[in-house]
Amino acid sequence: MNFDNNYQKCLDKLIWAIHQLDVKVAQSQLANLAKIIVQTMMGPWRYFHSIEHILEVGGSTDAIEVLAALFHDIIYVQVDGSIPFNLTPYLAPFIEEERGKLFVRTDNPGERDAIFELIATLFKVAPGEELFPFTGQNEFLSAIVAAKLLEPLLTPALIVQVVACIEATIPFRTQSDFGLSPSEELYQSLKSINQRFHFNLTSAELLETVKRSVRLANRDVGGFAHPSSAVFLSNTWKLLPETNHTLKKSESYTIRDYRVAIQKMAVFLKFLNAELIFRRFRGEPDDRIYIHYVEQARRNLEVARLYLDSKLVANAILEALSLRLGSDVPLTIMMGDFGDEPSSMGSLGDYFPTLINPHRPKTLLEREVCQLLAGGRAQSISFDFKTSPLTSFVVQYIGFEGIFQMWQRTQEFFQGKITSEEFLARCDADLVNIIIDGVAKLLEKRKVALCRLYKPLSMNGVRQLQHEH
């Protein structure tokens, strides 16, 4: 989608939200906000955290939720690689960088800026404190940008409600030391801020603010509970290039680059607790919906873990073989070109034999993973195959029991505890030979294409070239 379409969608959301709040704002001011949001959200690494994402997260029924969603990912340091230049004026008075790390300034800016003070209070951030990526850094910075951009348009009482919703999108948090859920903690903080800053919000308004934040936060991670594991994996794959910038269509990333990206995702999903993904607060959402979210997320995580583990084992064989050619062999050299259209060179999967007696899945989970490997994720993406022909063949050849048996030595290879040749020597020899044969045929096809119309130089021609040089 191009800039103009994204800009218009964002502007329409802003106009609608401001109208719902019954606030008089010049359209030129909203147009400037839309431009800032869209320019940031269309950054080169924004595959998942995009315009489409923030429009979906905001919903369509509540103005505060819509505004919070538009800003909740506007700062994402790990994705963009830095703070976007156009947003630095809003952060520089309060945040400083030292040796690549971000800190809250120590000259007490909150004493001069009430908006920043209430944000720092809500996020429990103190002067001089270092901001860490996985404990709310991006949400805190996004909240500051949102508040400073909205400050000329909205009252502080409205801004604090927007900021509270952004705070709720800090994901995967456990209960506090006092046994409070993140949403209960947010409610207590809002009560304190309401009294301290004299916002005069009623108890009902404070409760509704937290319920809004729960709805927003749950939509933000809603993909975990998608009824289709193929869609869940598609969303997972969109996350890969955001923090693994070598995975880009215009770059020939290596087999190791690819493995490291999916390995990091596998480690993250392995330790993610389904109960920590979704929020609830005093009946929002009701128990039936919440339990459904958790159960579906748990199922998607199980599928993703087996899917990723299988891909890592299969790709370990390919990575070990690639090291015979060099340390920087692009994945496409040994797998074939990406894209929805069949390549004239074909792909590695084209050269695998049909197995007479392949291993069959033994459980519903294994069956689902086999279908995903062979049939593909729900959507194509520019940097990878939608299907997994290599992994699908390896699973058919050795079964998931073989995947589990290979797992430990795969990790030893990745960690450098055994060499690539030691790893290959401990793999099924026939399987390795089939993969070698497939890669060789793929490379031979490239050789044929390269040598088209080629005529070997005669000895006289070689002597002539030597004479000329």
pLDDT along the chain (469 residues), means of 10: 91 97 95 97 93 96 98 96 95 93 79 88 95 93 98 96 98 93 97 95 97 98 97 95 82 89 96 97 97 98 98 97 92 80 74 94 97 94 90 97 96 97 96 96 87 70 59
Q: Is 99 exposed, middle or buried (0-12, 13-18, 19+ CB in 10 A)?
A: exposed
User: Among 309, 230, 218, which Cα is nearest to 265's?
Assistant: 309
Q: List strand residue ranges (DSSP E) for 304-344, in order.
A: none
Tokens read off for 47:
């595959």
By the 8 A CB rule, do 206 and 9 touch?
no
Distances in Å between the Cα of 175 and the Cα atoms of 167, 275, 279 are 15, 11, 11
3-state secondary structure of 345: coil
Buried b (16+ CB within 10 A) or exposed e, 419-433: ebeebbeebeeebbe
What whole-number distance in Å separates Cα of residue 178 and Cα of residue 327? Answer: 51
Residue 136's contacts (CB-CB under 8 Å, 6 or more residues apart) are: 123, 167, 170
Amino acid 231: pLDDT: 97
How far is residue 391's CA from residue 431's CA, in Å, rounded to a whole number? 12
Position 459 scores a pLDDT of 63
Q: What is the pLDDT of residue 360?
A: 94
Report pLDDT for 466.
63
| pLDDT at residue 464 in the model | 63
What is the rounded CA–CA span in Å between residue 203 and residue 29?
Answer: 32
Q: What is the pLDDT of residue 385?
A: 86
Handedness of CA 119, 121, 124, 125 (dihedral sign): positive
User: φ and ψ at 98, to 5 degrees?
Assistant: -140, 115
The closest alpha carbon to 285, from 210, 229, 206, belongs to 210
State the pLDDT at residue 401. 97
Residues ≥6 apart with Cβ < 8 Å to 240: 47, 247, 261, 262, 265, 383, 384
CA distances to 267, 296, 397, 424 from 43, in Å = 27, 32, 42, 41
Residue 412 pLDDT: 97
- Residue written as token pair 């748990």: 298
CB 379 within 8 A of CB 234: yes
User: In the prediction, which pLDDT does 376 show?
Assistant: 94
User: Crossing angle, helix 63-71 and helix 51-58, to 10 degrees?
Assistant: 160
The distance in angstroms from the start CA to the end CA of the chain is 54
The Cα–Cα gap between 166 and 185 comes to 14
Q: Note the Cα 466 to chain centre separation in Å.
A: 55
Angle among Cα 211, 204, 143 to the nearest 5 degrees reads 50
The pTM (predicted TM-score) of the whole model is 0.93
C-alpha span between 438 and 393 (Å, rounded): 12
What pLDDT is recorded for position 151?
Answer: 97
